[in-house]
Structure 1
Amino acid sequence: MSSHLSKQTVEALPEAGSREWWLVYLLAPIVLGGFAIVLFPSLVYDRFVWQYLWGPVVADAAGRPVVHDGVRAVTGYNIVNTVTYLVAVGYSLPGLRTYLRHLNVTFDARLAYGFAPIIIAGGAMRALEDIGLLGDFSVLFITPTIYLVVTAVAVLALGIGAVARNRGLLSIPGTVGVVGAIWAVGAVGWAFLYGATTTAPLRLWVPVATTGIAFGVTATYYWGTGFSDVATLRHPMLVLAVFGQMWDAAQNIIGVTFLGYSPKMFLTNLIYQATGFVGSTFVLKLLVTGAIVWYLADAKDEMNQTWWWLMTFFIGAIGLPMGVRGSLRMMLGV
């Protein structure tokens, strides 16, 4: 029965790659989620969406636990929203890949480095929300809504870049970089201006230390890979991925060791609590990043290049905003 139903479902779906297929791809999660909430509001919305997804966002904006229909939600990451966000990212990758192909985007290091300022701006905006400077807009810059905002800006920048390229004005990576740089400079500058105008001590040594550690580890990585036969290990995108992850690791070890913070990510905090070792996050990041980078370098010539680009960029894009956010928060004592 189940096999017959599955076969009928597959046959009813439009041809893969058609406009109708993409319409189903985009609307299916919304429609299925909407039906589930209507049919099982207490189970799906109260006990899943509210308690683990939306509730933590509201709690983060409010700065305290919040209650809806008797269900309490607390701020922070948990195993449910962590897995849900990873699944959502995986589901979105085919659509992102098709959009980039439609714009005739070249998947190269220039594009990755063009995106870096937007990613940094996202981390800075998250720090501004932590500080309490965004007012009623704070809910837009809390996980997961901040990812939607940053993605929307990136998608818009790509579209503007395609128009600029077609008119011979500026390349797509250049346009994306300009949009991101304006946003990043504004957000980071706002944080520094706030710090300079408050009575709280401004720990300028924190961003110097975190970026210094990240640059140091990345430089050591680059120097060490010169002794390897795998030339791809020095690919600019892999270097960016290492730097992004090490910036996140650096802000964690500075915060835990010297300022009394604990890791915010669910998995890293779990390992830190289990081991009690202040350098656990740094060591974990170092080992995992090294293994992933080695795999991507080795698989570059065998893997589909678009997928390789997306996977490699994703590794760096996870670390960069965390490094920026943590560094700015600790600099301002938040």
Structure 2
Amino acid sequence: MSTVTRRVETALPETGSREWWVLYLLAPLVLVGAGLLAFPTVVYDRFIWQYLWGPVVADAASQPVTHEGIRGVRGYNAVNTVSYLAAVVYSLPGLRVYLDQLDVTFDARLAYGFAPIIIAGGAMRALEDISLLGDYAVWFITPSIYFVVTAVTVLALGVGALARDRNIGSIPLTVGLVGSVWAVGAVGWAVWHGLSTSTPLRLWVPVATTGIALSVTALYYWGASFVDVPHLRHPLILLAVFGQLWDAAQNLIGVTFLGFSPKMVITNVVYEATGFSGSTFVLKFLVTLGIVWYLADAKDEMNHTWWWLMTFFIGAIGLPMGVRGSLRMLLGA
């Protein structure tokens, strides 16, 4: 061990202490702040703007934008992809400690409590798609929206823990209430906009997408009863199946009746190769079936928290996409 390393370790507070966590959380902010003060042009203009914030602003404006002569182009690049991944990885230890401190129980109630917040995120993305968020649009496009949804979720968890400790509520109930209010408000705003601007509302679209997703999920539930894999009908797995099928259903409706084409590269390739408008739905259903089969079979062998996170993640990918697509098509966007 070098002399420098020993001096650094001696100066640092004890690992796991409150002081250590404060330092861990503040260190990135301090480093970025120091860089902005010392080298503002390099750090902000040539890094933050060009590769991180500029693409977000360009996405919100639907065209390239410039700042101090530096062009920001919408979409991902190597720098922002690595930066976002590094931010997520760096935040995981702190998030885990936060959840441990709150004594969060990872069960089906918590997953269904989280679902409205995920749905609200999809609704906000749809509001951005139809240009209803004005200057706030930059906070509700990828990747900004992930940080916003995460921040709301973290705060809701904290409030839920306080309510639980005071015997006036629970974490799933509080998180679900926050998400429900947000989701209803976002969807209501979209519908109100359609009514107030005399936009022809395709009310049949959300009815069809949710109806298809619910019907096929029910069919899956019935079929799983004939298979000797106990956890195939676990509530969390059902949420995962429904979330993916909702996304598949909105894609099916858009491609079959409204002239859309699948956005994902793989699904679009399959659609172009087969010419079958339901190819994406079939593909997503089969892939989802394979994933949940594996998760159900591995539940008793896998770490419970890891299994919960993986299973919930499958549903959380589909839910917002189902909402976003259904709302956009409802309003003719």
How does 1:49-128 map onto structure 2 within 5 Å? Answer: 49-50=48-49, 53-68=52-67, 72-76=71-75, 85=84, 88-128=87-127
Q: Is the 8 A contact 1:300 1:308 kept in 2?
A: yes
CA offset at residue 254 of structure 1?
2.2
Q: Is the 8 A contact 1:58 1:66 kept in 2?
A: yes
Name the structure 2 match of 1:201: 200
SS of 2:228's equivalent in the other structure is coil
Instruction: Give yes or no for the alignment of 1:272 onto 2:261.
Output: no
How does 1:244-259 map onto structure 2 within 5 Å? Answer: 244-259=243-258
How does 1:182-201 map onto structure 2 within 5 Å? Answer: 182-201=181-200
Q: Deviations over 1:42-96 (max 9, x none)?
A: 9986677545542332122213222346654443556775676556445434432
How does 1:1-334 map onto structure 2 within 5 Å? Answer: 17-23=16-22, 25-27=24-26, 29-30=28-29, 49-50=48-49, 53-68=52-67, 72-76=71-75, 85=84, 88-264=87-263, 268-269=264-265, 271-272=267-268, 276-277=272-273, 278-279=277-278, 281-334=280-333
Taking structure 1 as reference, are residues 271 and 182 closer, same or farther at Cα in structure 2, changes over 3 Å only? closer
CA offset at residue 102 of structure 1?
0.7
CA offset at residue 236 of structure 1?
0.6
Q: Is the 8 A contact 1:118 1:177 kept in 2?
A: yes
CA offset at residue 222 of structure 1?
1.5
SS of 1:276's equivalent in the other structure is helix
One-letter identity of the residue aligned with 2:265: N
Q: Which runs of 4+ in 1 moved over 6 A?
A: 3-14, 32-48
Q: Is the 8 A contact 1:272 1:280 kept in 2?
A: no
> How far apart in 1 are the matches of 2:165 and 2:136?
35
SS of 2:132's equivalent in the other structure is coil
Q: Is the 8 A contact 1:218 1:246 kept in 2?
A: yes
CA offset at residue 259 of structure 1?
2.2
Q: Give 5+ residue unaligned stretches, structure 2.
A: none
Normalization by structure 2: what TM-score?
0.83
Q: Is the 8 A contact 2:270 2:280 kept in 1?
A: no
Q: Is the 8 A contact 1:251 1:326 kept in 2?
A: yes
> How far apart in 2 are the matches of 1:317 and 1:54?
25
Q: Is the 8 A contact 1:201 1:332 kept in 2?
A: yes
CA offset at residue 280 of structure 1?
5.0
Normalization by structure 1: what TM-score?
0.83
SS of 1:67's equivalent in the other structure is strand
CA offset at residue 9 of structure 1?
11
> How far apart in 1 are the matches of 2:326 and 2:239?
18
One-letter identity of the residue aligned with 1:166: D
RMSD: 3.3
Q: Deviations over 1:220-264 (max 9, x none)?
A: 221222122211111111111111122112222322333233445
Q: Is the 8 A contact 1:139 1:145 kept in 2?
A: yes
CA offset at residue 217 of structure 1?
2.4
The share of aligned pairs that are identical, in percent, is 72
CA offset at residue 186 of structure 1?
1.0
Q: Is the 8 A contact 1:97 1:306 kept in 2?
A: no
One-letter identity of the residue aligned with 2:129: D
CA offset at residue 4 of structure 1?
7.5
One-letter identity of the residue aligned with 1:333: G
